[in-house]
Amino acid sequence: MRSKIIAALLGAVVAASGVVAGGVVGGAVAQADPACPSLYVVAIPGTWETTTGRAPGPGMLSDATDGLPSNVQVDYVSYAATAFPWESEVYGRSKKQATDNGRGLIQAMAQRCGNTRIALLGYSQGADAAGDLAAEIGTGLGVIPPTKLAAVGLISDPRRSESDALVGPFVPGNGAGGPRIGGFGLSSSQTRTICAIGDLYCSTPKDDFVTRFAGFLAQSSDPSPAQFSRYTQEALAIFNDLMLSGGIPLLQSQLSDPANEKRAEQLEQFYRSQVHTDYRNYSVDGSGTSATRWMRNWLRDAA
């Protein structure tokens, strides 16, 4: 009788182990379900390409996300996508919407599909937001660990740093909003940036202090007490560079009437060139691969 009880208990333990193992195996099987993609791409469009009032439009990034393998799921982030005070939101508040909404998509997918890897893709203001999310994750402050991040693709990032991994021809300068303090941390190896030659949003000359201060004001246009340390570091970085380059007299010379007229002409030429909106045709390698197609190929390989 006793041996039968022991056998029954052992059988129960084995059965329980089978249930646990089955749960693990079941989880792996569930991962193959279409509801749990191998790669989840969170794409953030640029300024004026979407809005909070309607379904997000892919805009420039459609050329990078169309035709990806069936095991890849793509979601576009909707947000204000504005930049000026007379629009619905100032730049800082608009970008915060993009980062918050993108973070929410990542967190929801991570909770539902624990084995799914995440990719971030952004253009212009969307690249600004996607890059900030990548920096969060890479410095341990994100909603997923850096090991879950498969790829980060940034096109015309206003916070590009010369030290970022650039795809395509060398472009001097940093983004108009200034480089991210601390960079991408452990997300650096997964991050690629593309900046077209002549795109002032992602390649502001280091000695153009008027634009650099304007970019800083745009970034801090929706100030958060939690970010005051970052604001201080970024403002000091610009100020210290200014002092090393000529100080207040240099800034005054850049604000003179002739300098303002020259800047206005340069901006007019920049907007007429449409270099900022032509990444579907901007070649980044010897084969003539465009920026958006390169990003699509990279995401495909990451899947």
| CATH number of the domain encompassing residue 155 | 3.40.50.1820
Q: Is residue 85 part of a domain?
A: yes
Q: Is residue 42 part of a domain?
A: yes
DSSP strands (E only) in the chain: 39-44, 72-76, 117-123, 149-155, 191-194
User: What is the pLDDT, as a whole number, of residue 86?
Assistant: 63
The structure tokens listed for 7 are 């056998």
Q: Is residue 211 part of a domain?
A: no
Q: Is residue 150 part of a domain?
A: yes
CA distance 229 to 190: 27
Q: Is residue 23 part of a domain?
A: no
User: What is the pLDDT, as a whole number, of residue 55?
Assistant: 58
User: What is the pLDDT, as a whole number, of residue 17?
Assistant: 34
Pairing of strands 72-76, 149-155: unpaired
CA distance 187 to 139: 8
DSSP designation for 224: -
pTM of the predicted model, to two decimals?
0.85
Q: Is residue 259 part of a domain?
A: no
Q: Is residue 112 part of a domain?
A: yes
CA distance 194 to 245: 28
Structurally, the chain folds into a number of domains equal to 1
**pLDDT tens, the chain, 303 aa long:** 333 333 333 333 333 333 333 333 333 333 445 589 999 999 999 988 887 665 556 788 999 999 999 999 999 999 988 887 666 789 999 999 999 999 999 999 999 999 999 999 999 999 999 999 999 999 999 999 999 999 999 999 999 999 999 999 999 999 999 999 999 999 999 999 999 999 999 999 999 999 999 999 999 888 888 888 888 999 999 999 999 999 999 999 999 999 999 989 988 998 899 999 999 999 999 999 999 999 999 999 998
Residue 145 structural domain: 30-203+275-302
Q: Is residue 238 part of a domain?
A: no
Q: Which pairs with CB-CB distance under 8 Å and at least 24 residues apart come from 244-252? A: 245/207, 245/209, 250/207, 250/209, 251/209, 251/210
Q: Are 120 and 102 in contact (CB under 8 A)?
A: yes
The structure tokens listed for 148 are 């879950």
